[in-house]
Amino acid sequence: MISLHTHSIFSDGELLPSELARRCERAGYRYLAITDHADSSNLEDIIRNVSRAAADFNRTSKLKVLPGIEITHVDPSLIGGLAAKARSLGARVVVVHGETITEPVKKGTNLAAIRAKVDILAHPGCISKAEMALAKKNNVLIEITTRKGHSLTNGYVAKLALECGAPMVLNTDAHIPADIVGRDFGLKVAMGAGLSRKQAENLFVNSEKFVKRTAGLA
């Protein structure tokens, strides 16, 4: 199991990075990205603190932790600059909090994230076909999520991604221990979104390819 989108106490999660990683390790995860919510007020602190915890954990464990960030509820005009800054500070996974239907995310966020070529567009809600086609062109990974609420549009997102050929990954968006789900449950969520088993399994293949290509943890 791989999840490239999770949260610790450095935003709105319940667990220290070390406990989050340990619980994921116990659940059979091989790679984990900790991507706490950030804007310009806390981006530097999150990346610095999570990077320290990840380095400690990675020295002693089979599970490998990637320090990341989820740029959240900022004006679309700021997304490109914050994504570039996050990478310069050492974020290995840059996620943008997409236009989920369960929160008042500013219109234009999906497009700004895709134009900025972030790594993952999380829970993109009712993303347009033109945006999805651009995500394919820019190799932005589109998230299918196991998280309650955000998963309401999984079926729409998966269908459009398949139509446009955009790459998808499955993430947990874990905030609490109960959000740490296993591979079998993840497959069921993906198939519940209308994917075949082979297509669902390919979400994990895409995550692994990302880790090996971009995150440098081959």
pLDDT tens column, 39-54: 999 999 999 999 999 9
What is the arithmetic mean of pLDDT over 3-28? 97
- Binning pLDDT at 50, 70 and 90, where does residue 218 land? very low
pLDDT digit string (tens) for 196-207? Answer: 999 999 999 999
Q: What is the fold, at CATH topology level, of the domain defined by 2-215? A: TIM Barrel (3.20.20)
Q: What is the mean pLDDT of the chain?
A: 96
- Measured in degrees and rounded to the nearest 5, phi and psi for residue 83 equal -65, -45
pLDDT above 90 for 213: no
Tell me if 13 sits within 8 A of 176, measured CB to CB: yes
pLDDT digits (tens, 9 = 90+) for 54-73: 999 999 999 999 999 999 99
